Amino acid sequence: MQEALAENSLVLTGEVVKTPKQSTSPAGIHHSQFSIDHRSIQSEAGMNRQAFVRIQVVATGELSHLTRELVAGSLVKVAGFINRHESRNGNPLLVLHAQQIEMIN
């Protein structure tokens, strides 16, 4: 499979777990990190199934400024791509890199 043609997109709605952590890279690029909890009922093989996931979200550049309004309990819709990161102890993490963030009232 050619990497340039590979699809990688994810859209999740969820609740912000805690206030985003803001940082700036040595190159001056703003970053924001936060986690969301997604809960829903999905249909699988004709049956309803409870779905739950907590995923870390990273917003970079101009998009990181939008996250300054987020607090624990905020409802958001995040669209972007997923990427593998490593935790401090070397465990793999799946992270959603936001390309769009929408507040849900």
pLDDT tens digits, one per residue of 3-19: 677 899 999 999 999 99
pLDDT tens digits, one per residue of 73-97: 999 999 999 999 988 899 999 999 9
DSSP 9-73: -EEEEEEE-SPPEEEE-TTS-EEEEEEEEEEEEEEETTEEEEEEEEEEEEEETHHHHHGGG--TT
CATH topology of domain 3-104: OB fold (Dihydrolipoamide Acetyltransferase, E2P) (2.40.50)
pTM as predicted: 0.88
Residues 32-44, mean pLDDT to the nearest whole number: 97
* Domain parsing of the chain, residue ranges: 3-104
